[in-house]
Chains A and B, each alone.
Chain A
Amino acid sequence: MHSFPLNLHGIAPNSFVRTSNDAVKTIERAIDVRKRLKSLSIRIVKYPVMLVVFPVGYLVVYIMILAYNRRLNKACSEKINLNNYRQLREELLALNELSSKLKSARVVSAPKKKTPWYLMPLMRQILKMGKTITAYHASIKKQVDAFDEPISPMPNGWKLVTGTEMFEARVKGYEYLI
């Protein structure tokens, strides 16, 4: 006699899921910091005391983003362990959100004036971060799209159920058994 619960094969989260969640948080923080730095630089003219605070703060933020970029680069270049389709789709959703955030940030930050010279190194790091995330997004999307392609031509009358349709049919609490 055999019996086992249906959710037995739910697989623990993989490392690649963490990547996008981290990235979402960090990119939000970076955009926020950049905006704050900009407003600070405007105020600097008014309050000369801030001249001392600004370079130190700027340096701290710059180093933080630099370190994050290194971590992100390493995380994105690691081989993705594909054993859970649901998590792969969730990763793609998170990355879609992240990409739209990056795009909107670019729209907001598109100034009529030129970016001040002292913000250029920081901007360069943020753009680098954006590029890494975009490349990672493209690789995940490619993998997801591969599951929507037929493995062999289907005979007449047969319709393929794509991975996307299957993902949309899922309900919370149901896990794939394999």
Chain B
Amino acid sequence: MISRMCWALSLWLSQALEASEREAAVGDLVESGSPGTMALRAVLGLALRRQAAVWEDWRIWLLFTTMLLPVSFSLCLTSQAAAHESAVYTWMYANNWDWNLAKNSGFWYVFRDAAMRLFRSLLTIAGWSWSMGFVLGILRRKILLTSPTLLFLLLALFQFGNLPQRFTLFLMNRYAPPKLPILPDSNAPITAITVYNLIFPWIVLAIFVAPPTILGIADGEKGSSLSLRSRIGLLMGAVLATLTILPQAPGFGLLLRASGREWILQPNM
């Protein structure tokens, strides 16, 4: 029973290998009558060795430093900002609901405006995620397993470590005038609620980052059969589209633009 399960797992894991290698390695294990546990160890070992070998290629390091690391951080940052914004509105409407509000035309004006703003920011996040996925998908097959896994690991790591918030605080401390008093968080009652503070960012990542990235990878893979010129054109377009995330205000944009610093300080000025 365990052996059969291990064999099934080995066959699934062997998808990470190139087709010819999968054929040869799994065939060898079948021919030698290896038990499931041994087959699993062998396939896992081979897949890990192959993925480790990818890091000997300078291109994965280029991709990692120029795209994966900054983009995953920015994606996490913008997702947190969107999650925070949606949490504020959700709290505002769900926790303070009054049917009389629905009769007020002013309510619907604000509601429409908030919904549109939220929709736009979530759509933009999905767009960035898709284009990041497309970049990973269109690049050669060998780095395919490593790079998306790495992207999702980085996103999870940043989210677990709450690094975007730490980064924003660091920037505020770095650029704020020395005697500026610490601003009270006007949304503290909302951010104190675990669901809004911890679960919402994960929901945004799970719905607006992960599926578009996976879809982008699949679309990018389809694009890899195109001519070299078309591939380069598509790749450049996707890279540029993805990199537009970097100069956004709640992120590295704060480092690049004076307006970002003003944005931070604005409430107190």
Question: Do A and B truly interact?
Answer: no
